C-alpha cells in the first residue's frame, strides 16, 4: 500500500521504518489525512506478524511542528456551525473531535509492538505527544534540536495525552513548569528529565532507534505495568504537599488568572495522577473541550497561531510582484539601532554595508554584532565558525559609494528631518534605479520624509523595535507614493530576517507608538489623580501587560517623551498634549534630572547590582495620594486595556491599519498587549462591541475624553458587528472596505 505523507519500509530484521515526509510542505504537520494514514500504518504494523516493531522518523530536516492550523480552524468551524443549531450536540461533537489525536496515540502505545520515535530538528506539540506515546525516543545531538509542548502560548494546553505522559516520565515540578510556560527543551535537557532515552549523532539516529527494538524494547509503557510509581512520588505525599500549593500560587502570581489554559494544565495533571491512565486521558479530554470553548482560546489561537503564520507567510504581500532575492543590503547609521539591523541582516546570510560618518564609528557598530554573536556562543547557540561568517558579511564603511549595488538601503540615523534628508540624497546618488530606500523612523511621517527623495515610489518606512535582535515585529509604513514593488521588497526583507511584518499607512506615530503612548498617558493621568504608583504598575501587570507603564516610560526614556510632547505641540498645537502631562514630565526631567533608566533614575531608581530597581519614593509626593483601599483595581485594569483598544479602533477607522490580523498581532508582539485577549481588536470582539461601547462611555464620563468612542465602534455596536466581520481579511469585500 502507498501513502501520500509517509513511506513504509520493512528491513530484513522485521523493523518497519515509517518516514514522515509530506509533499509540498517545508515541515511535517498533523492534518486529518496524516492522522488517517498513521492510523492505517499502526494497524498494519500491529497485524503483520513479520513486523517486530516500528521506527517513526522525518524525511525532512526537522521532525514536525505539531498540528496544522487548518485542522484547528475546521474543528472550530464545525463547533460553531453545530452550536447555532444545538448547543449540547456541538459540545459533544467538540469532545469527540478533541479525542481523535489522543485516541490514535493511545492505540499506538497499546498495539503490542514496540515503537521508537527518531527525532531530528523541531518536534513540537502534537508531534512531541506522539513521540511520548512511543515506547522509545532517540534524539539527534544537533544543537538545532528542540522539543516541547507550547500549546499554552496559544491559549490551550497539550490535549493529546501530554498532560498525563510528561508527569509520569519526569517529576511533577519539572512537568508543570515545562507545560505551563510552553518552554522548549534541548536534547540534553529532555534526556535529563527522562523524556527521551538516547541522544545520538544525527547520522546514527535511525540506526540507534532500530537498535533499541533489536535489544528487546518492551512494547508496554511504564504506566501500563503493574506496580508503576510516579517518578516524583504520589500526589498525596510529603513531596506533593510541598509542590501543589506552591504551584498554584506561582501560577496565580505569573498569570493573574488570565490564562484558563494554564490553570487547566494544573487541574488535568493533579486529577489525572490520582486515577488509572485511561481515565486520566478522559479527564484531560474534558478539560481540553472546555478550554476550546473559552474566549481566550479562540482569540489566542486566531491571533498567535493562525494570523501570525499567515502574516509570516506574506499575507499582505502584493501577489503580482515576483519575490526579490536580496543580494546586498545597506544600513546608514551605525548607532545601536543601525548596528542591530546590520546584525539581524547578516545573521540571515545577507551581505550588508554598515555606513557611518567615519570608519571608526562604523567599526564600532560592527563590534556590536561581534558582541551579540559572542553571547550566542556563550549560550551554546552559535559556533566560532558562524561568528566568522556573520562578521564577514558586514562591511564597515564611511563611503556612500559602497552602497552601490544594494537592493535595499535602510536609513537608521538620528530622528531629525534635516539629517534624514541629507542622508537620503547622498544614498540615492549612488543607488541603482530599482533599489528601494527605507527609513527606520518611529514617529516621523514617511510621506514627509519621502519629499527628500527623487523617487518617492521607491521610498518606504521600515520601523524596527528595540532591541532589534529580540523584538519580532516590524512595522512597514507606506507613504502616499510608495509602490507595490517597494512594499514587496520590504516584506521580502522582513521575512528573510525571520520577523513578523505589519503594513501600516502613514500617520504620526504609525500604529504601535500611538497605542503605547496611550498606555503611558493613562498612567500619567493616574499619577495626577493620586493613584499610588505601585498600584498603577501592579494593575497594569494584572491586566496582562508584561511591563508596567512607568517602567516602560523609563525604558524608552522620559526625556524622549518630553521631546515627543514638545514636537506634537509645535506641529499640532497646544491642545495636542495634556498640559498636566507636560508639567509632570518637565518636573521629572528639568527639576529632578530623572530621564529614565539610561541615567539611573526616572519613575524608578536603579541602584547598583545586585540591588533591584524600585519606584522612586518621592514620586508619590508630587500629587496628593488617594486611599488605596478605596480604589477599584478592576477599573484601573480596564482603563489601561480600553485606552489602548480604543486607539486601535481609531487607527482602523482612519485606515492606518486595514487588516485586523495586523492590529492584533502587532499589539502583542510589539508591546505585549494582554496576549490572553488575542490583541487590541480581539479584546473588543471578545466582549462584543455593544458591551465595550457601554463600558467606554462610563469611563469617559468619569475619567475623560481619552475614552471617547469612535463612530466606527458605535456603528459596529448598533449592527452587532466584529472587526473580523467588518474588515474580513479573507474576503474581497473586506479588502475593499479596508482600502
What is the predicted pLDDT for the residue at 733?
41
Say what the alpha-carbon torsion angle 6, 186, 267, 683 is, to the nearest 10 degrees: -80
- Judged by DSSP in three states, 583 sits in helix
Report the pLDDT value the prediction gives residue 711, as an integer from 0 to 100. Answer: 97
Q: Classify residue 357 by burial, with Cβ atoms within 10 Å: 0-12, 13-18, 19+.
A: exposed
Residue 285 to residue 301: CA distance in whole angstroms: 18
CA atoms of 446 and 452, how far apart (whole Å): 10
Q: What CATH number has the domain spanning 513-736?
A: 1.10.1040.50
Secondary structure letter of residue 588 according to DSSP: I
Q: Maximum Cα–Cα distance for the chain, whole Å?
A: 85
Asked whether 671 and 573 are in contact (CB, 8 A), the reply is: no
Distance CA 351, CA 345 (A): 7
| 19 strand-pairing partners | 7, 57
Q: What is the pLDDT of residue 63?
A: 97
Three-state SS for 186-234 is: CHHHHHHCCCCCEEECHHHHHHHHHHHHHCCCCCCCHHHCCCCCCCCCC
CB 300 within 8 A of CB 686: no
Extents of the domains making up the chain: 6-293, 329-508, 513-736
Helix (H, G, I), strand (E, B) or coil at 656: coil
Cβ contact 471:465 at 8 Å: yes
- Low-confidence stretches of the chain (pLDDT beneath 70): 732-739
**What pLDDT score was predicted for residue 81?**
87
What pLDDT does 72 receive?
Answer: 78
Would you state the cell numbers that stand for residue 219, as one nine-digit string? 512494547
**Strand pairing category for 473-478 and 459-464:** antiparallel
List the Cα angle 727/730/732 in 5-degree steps. Answer: 75
DSSP 326: -
Query: What is the C-alpha separation between 686 and 638, in angstroms, rounded?
Result: 14
Q: What is the DSSP letter of 530?
A: T
Whole-model pTM: value is 0.91
> What CATH number does the domain located at 6-293 have?
3.90.226.10
In tens, the pLDDT along 54-105 reads 999 999 999 999 988 778 778 888 888 888 899 999 999 999 999 999 999 9
Dist. CA 563–CA 577, nearest whole Å:
12
- Listed in sequence order, the residues at least 6 apart from 287 whose beta carbon sits closer than 8 Å to its beta carbon are 157, 159, 264, 267, 268
**Domain covering 329-508: architecture:** 3-Layer(aba) Sandwich (3.40)
Exposed/middle/buried for 707, CB within 10 Å: 0-12, 13-18, 19+? buried
What are the residue ranges of helices labelled H in 379-511? 384-392, 417-428, 446-449, 484-496
Task: Using alpha carbons, select from 22, 46, 25 the residue that is nearest to residue 33.
Answer: 22
User: Is there a contact between 454 and 429 (Cβ–Cβ < 8 Å)?
Assistant: no
Smallest Cα–Cα separation from 519: which of 532, 502, 537? Answer: 537
pLDDT at position 737: 42
Query: Among the residues of 48-86, which ranges form H helices?
Result: 69-83
**Other Cβ atoms within 10 Å of 629 Cβ, number:** 5
Return d(Cα 529, Cα 204) in angstroms, integer. Answer: 67
123 strand-pairing partners: 64, 147
Number of CB atoms found within 10 A of residue 659's CB: 24
Confidence (pLDDT) at 457:
97
Distance between CA 454 and CA 441 in Å, rounded? 19
Q: Is there a contact between 459 and 453 (Cβ–Cβ < 8 Å)?
A: yes
Helix or strand or coil: residue 508? coil
Residue 696: all three cell numbers together: 467606554
Say how far apart CA 511 and CA 626 lie, in whole Å: 34
Alpha carbon of 393 to those of 330, 345, 347, 386, 388: distances in Å? 12, 9, 9, 11, 9
The number of helix segments (H) and strand segments (E) in the chain equals: 31, 19
Residue among 333, 363, 359, 328 at smallest CA distance from 346: 328
Amino acid at each position: 500500500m502507498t501513502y501520500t505523507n509517509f513511506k513504509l519500509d520493512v528491513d530484513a530484521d522485521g523493523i518497519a521504518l515509517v518516514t514522515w515526509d509530506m509533499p509540498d510542505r517545508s515541515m511535517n504537520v498533523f492534518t486529518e489525512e496524516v492522522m488517517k494514514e498513521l492510523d492505517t500504518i499502526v494497524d498494519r504494523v500491529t497485524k503483520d506478524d513479520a513486523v517486530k516493531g516500528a521506527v517513526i522518523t522525518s524525511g525532512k530536516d526537522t521532525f514536525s511542528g505539531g498540528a496544522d492550523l487548518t485542522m484547528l480552524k475546521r474543528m472550530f468551524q464545525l463547533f460553531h456551525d453545530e452550536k447555532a443549531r444545538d448547543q449540547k450536540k456541538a459540545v459533544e461533537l467538540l469532545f469527540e473531535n478533541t479525542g481523535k489525536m489522543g485516541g490514535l496515540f493511545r492505540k499506538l502505545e497499546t498495539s503490542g509492538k514496540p515503537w521508537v520515535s527518531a527525532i531530528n530538528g523541531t518536534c513540537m506539540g502534537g508531534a512531541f505527544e506522539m513521540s511520548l506515546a512511543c515506547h522509545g525516543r532517540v534524539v539527534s545531538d544537533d544543537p538545532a534540536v528542540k522539543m516541547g509542548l507550547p500549546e499554552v502560548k496559544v491559549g490551550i494546553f497539550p490535549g493529546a495525552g501530554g498532560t498525563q505522559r510528561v508527569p509520569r516520565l519526569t517529576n511533577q515540578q519539572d512537568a508543570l513548569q515545562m507545560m505551563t510556560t510552553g518552554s522548549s527543551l534541548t536534547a540534553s535537557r529532555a534526556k535529563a528529565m527522562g523524556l527521551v532515552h538516547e541522544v545520538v549523532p544525527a547520522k546514527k539516529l535511525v540506526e540507534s532507534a532500530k537498535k533499541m527494538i533489536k535489544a528487546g524494547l518492551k512494547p508496554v509503557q511504564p504506566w501500563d505495568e503493574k506496580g508503576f510509581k510516579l517518578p516524583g512520588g504520589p500526589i498525596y505525599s510529603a513531596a506533593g504537599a510541598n509542590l501543589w500549593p506552591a504551584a498554584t500560587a506561582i501560577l496565580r502570581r505569573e498569570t493573574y488568572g488570565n490564562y484558563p489554559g494554564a490553570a487547566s494544565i494544573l487541574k488535568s495533571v493533579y486529577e489525572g495522577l490520582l486515577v488509572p491512565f485511561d481515565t486520566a486521558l478522559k479527564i484531560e479530554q474534558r478539560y481540553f473541550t472546555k478550554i476550546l470553548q473559552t474566549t481566550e482560546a479562540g482569540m489566542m489561537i486566531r491571533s498567535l497561531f493562525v494570523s501570525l503564520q499567515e502574516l509570516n507567510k506574506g499575507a499582505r504581500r502584493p501577489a503580482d510582484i515576483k519575490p526579490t532575492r536580496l543580494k546586498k543590503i545597506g544600513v546608514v547609521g551605525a548607532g545601536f539601532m543601525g548596528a542591530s539591523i546590520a546584525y539581524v541582516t547578516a545573521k540571515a546570510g545577507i551581505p550588508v554595508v554598515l555606513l557611518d560618518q567615519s570608519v571608526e564609528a562604523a567599526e564600532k557598530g560592527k563590534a556590536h554584532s561581534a558582541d551579540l554573536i559572542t553571547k550566542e556562543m556563550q549560550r551554546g547557540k552559535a559556533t566560532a565558525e558562524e561568528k566568522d561568517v556573520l562578521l564577514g558579511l558586514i562591511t564597515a564603511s564611511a563611503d556612500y559609494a559602497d552602497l552601490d549595488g544594494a537592493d535595499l538601503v535602510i536609513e537608521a540615523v538620528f530622528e531629525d528631518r534635516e539629517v534624514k534628508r541629507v542622508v537620503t540624497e547622498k544614498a540615492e546618488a549612488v543607488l541603482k534605479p530599482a533599489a528601494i530606500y527605507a527609513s527606520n523612523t518611529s514617529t516621523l511621517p514617511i510621506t514627509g520624509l519621502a519629499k527628500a527623495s527623487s523617487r518617492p515610489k521607491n521610498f518606504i518606512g521600515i520601523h524596527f523595535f528595540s532591541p532589534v535582535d529580540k523584538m519580532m515585529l516590524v512595522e512597514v509604513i507606506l507613504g502616499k507614493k510608495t509602490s507595490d514593488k517597494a512594499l514587496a521588497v520590504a516584506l521580502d526583507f522582513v521575512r528573510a530576517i525571520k520577523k513578523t511584518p505589519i503594513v501600516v499607512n502613514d500617520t504620526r506615530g504609525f500604529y504601535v507608538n500611538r497605542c503605547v503612548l496611550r498606555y503611558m498617558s493613562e498612567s500619567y493621568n493616574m499619577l495626577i489623580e493620586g493613584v499610588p504608583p505601585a498600584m498603577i504598575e501592579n494593575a497594569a501587570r494584572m491586566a496582562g501587560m508584561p511591563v508596567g507603564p512607568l517602567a516602560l516610560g523609563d525604558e524608552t526614556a522620559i526625556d524622549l517623551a518630553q521631546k515627543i510632547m514638545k514636537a506634537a505641540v509645535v506641529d499640532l498645537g497646544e491642545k495636542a498634549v495634556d498640559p498636566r502631562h507636560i508639567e509632570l514630565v518637565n518636573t521629572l526631567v528639568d527639576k529632578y534630572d530623572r530621564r529614565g533608566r539610561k541615567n539611573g533614575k526616572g519613575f524608578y531608581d536603579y541602584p547598583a547590582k545586585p540591588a533591584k530597581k524600585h519606584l522612586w519614593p518621592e514620586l508619590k509626593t508630587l500629587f496628593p495620594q488617594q486611599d488605596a483601599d478605596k480604589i477599584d483595581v478592576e477599573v484601573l485594569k480596564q482603563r489601561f486595556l480600553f485606552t489602548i483598544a480604543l486607539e486601535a479602533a481609531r487607527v482602523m477607522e482612519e485606515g492606518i491599519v486595514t487588516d485586523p490580523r495586523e492590529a492584533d498581532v502587532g499589539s502583542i508582539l510589539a508591546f505585549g498587549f494582554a496576549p490572553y485577549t488575542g490583541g487590541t481588536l480581539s479584546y473588543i470582539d471578545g466582549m462584543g462591541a455593544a458591551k465595550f461601547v457601554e463600558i467606554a462611555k462610563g469611563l469617559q464620563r468619569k475619567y475623560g475624553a481619552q475614552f471617547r468612542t469612535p463612530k466606527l465602534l458605535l456603528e459596529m455596536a448598533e449592527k452587532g458587528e466584529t472587526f473580523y466581520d467588518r474588515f474580513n481579511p479573507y474576503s474581497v469585500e473586506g479588502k475593499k472596505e479596508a482600502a
